[in-house]
Amino acid sequence: MDYWTKKTTVFSGKIFSVETGTVELADGSKVDRDVVRHKGSVAIVAVLDDQIIFVSQPRQAVNKQVLEIPAGRIDGETPLCAAARELEEETGYKARKLVEGPVYYSSVGFLDEQVHVFLAFDLYKDDQQAKGVQQDDDVTIVTLSFAEARRRLEANKFEDSKTIIGLRQLLVHLKKDETPVDNRTLYDWYASENHKYNTLIWQFPAAILALNILAWEKIGGHPATLLSMFLINLVLVLCVSKHVWHQKQFTRALKKINEEFKKYPDLYVVEFKHGRFSRLPAGWILVGSMVILDFAYMVLIWRMRSA
């Protein structure tokens, strides 16, 4: 391990200090070294709905305007507190969820700065605090859609290291933890919602069937009564058939969505089990039952008129 044989602090400022001196290497030779000491920084990938918030600002060191994620130095506080503070100061947003990401050295050759990356979700604005947010005239807030940010990342359009590392960490996080529909497969979500709908669809026909029985007992087998009940049940058959048709269209749409998801494996892969849709939906059973009932009414009406 190399160690200092002579070291002098030649500059000490608010943000960093510079040390220079002589270092003895493992083989006994000596070399001059300059080291920049830094207290550390935070960088925040701020996710607002389907967009990511960036800051565009001039950087004198490279003499150009640079598009970056919000960032700032740690000022006698924990990295988490610094991330929350910098996010609010630079964007006006607070985050209900801050996820810790990697911690890396920005340039180990001469600088000991550690950058703590955070992912910020569920952003909101505190109106009172937002009024106090001040931006320099040459600093602007830029929001990019997730798709556009990802496209630029893949095309190597970002030049800032913390931005590149932060966005790649976001992709890893989304693939690992942000699976759709509450960590269930797409089919399981569909089946659950469809079961609720089918249960509701059954309740209304059950009431109609009860009305059929009541009408038969109280009014008797009068042709006019039978004809009225036949028409009511016919309307019900049409309504339920429409529900079943929409159910089939929804299933086809889910299959298409699943195929689109497969094109983006870096986001997530959605499992869609086609075979389980071969089961007979409750709606079709209901339609068949009502058709049989209507057929029985038609037979009864025909027999009464023939008698």
pLDDT band with cut points at 50, 70 and 90 for residue 277:
very low
Residues of the domain holding 8 = 3-36
Helices (H), the chain: 79-91, 127-131, 146-154, 161-177, 180-183, 186-218, 223-261, 282-306
Query: For residue range 13-71, what is the model confidence (pLDDT) as tens digits?
Result: 888 999 999 998 888 899 999 999 999 999 999 999 889 999 999 999 999 999 999 99
262 & 147 share domain? no
Distance CA 169, CA 97 (A): 16
Distance CA 243, CA 224 (A): 29
The domain tally of the chain equals 3
Distance CA 46, CA 118 (A): 8
Poorest-confidence range of 28-37, 90-99, 213-222, 290-299? 213-222
Beta bridge partners of 45: 119
Q: Among the three residues 163, 178, 193, which one is the final residue of a domain in this structure?
A: 178
Residue 5: closest CA among 32, 27, 35, 38: 32
CA angle (294 as vertex; 293, 295 as ends), nearest 5: 90
CB 19 within 8 A of CB 35: yes
Distance CA 191, CA 198 (A): 10
Residue 69: closest CA among 157, 138, 1, 167: 167
208 & 271 share domain? yes
299 & 225 share domain? yes
197 & 299 share domain? yes
Give the mean pLDDT of the chain: 79
115 & 165 share domain? yes
Distance CA 290, CA 294 (A): 6
250 & 295 share domain? yes
Q: Among the three residues 148, 178, 208, which one is the final residue of a domain in this structure?
A: 178
Q: Among the three residues 178, 197, 212, which one is the final residue of a domain in this structure?
A: 178
pLDDT band with cut points at 50, 70 and 90 for residue 156:
very high
Distance CA 289, CA 197 (A): 18
User: What CATH number has the domain bearing residue 112?
Assistant: 3.90.79.10
pLDDT band with cut points at 50, 70 and 90 for residue 139:
confident
Distance CA 164, CA 158 (A): 7
146 & 268 share domain? no
Please give the distance of CA 88 from its chain centroid, rounded to a whole number: 22
Distance CA 42, CA 48 (A): 19
Beta bridge partners of 71: 43
Query: For residue range 66-76, what is the model confidence (pLDDT) as tens digits?
Result: 999 999 999 99
Mean pLDDT for the stretch of residues 104-109: 93
More confident residue, 289 or 65: 65
Q: Which of 130-134, 169-173, 178-182 reaches the highest mean pLDDT?
A: 169-173
Tell me what pLDDT residue 192 has: 63
Please give the distance of CA 301 from its chain centroid, rounded to a whole number: 59
Tell me what pLDDT residue 179 has: 44
95 & 151 share domain? yes
Tell me what pLDDT residue 296 has: 73
Distance CA 259, CA 32 (A): 59
Helix and strand numbers (H, E) in the chain are: 8, 10
Mean pLDDT for the stretch of residues 74-101: 94
163 & 186 share domain? no
Tell me what pLDDT residue 185 has: 54
296 & 196 share domain? yes
15 & 91 share domain? no
pLDDT over 60 (residue 5): yes
Please give the distance of CA 1 from its chain centroid, rounded to a whole number: 46
Q: Is the pTM of this model over 0.75?
A: no
Query: For residue range 178-223, what is the model confidence (pLDDT) as tens digits?
Result: 444 444 455 566 666 666 666 655 666 666 667 666 766 666 656 6
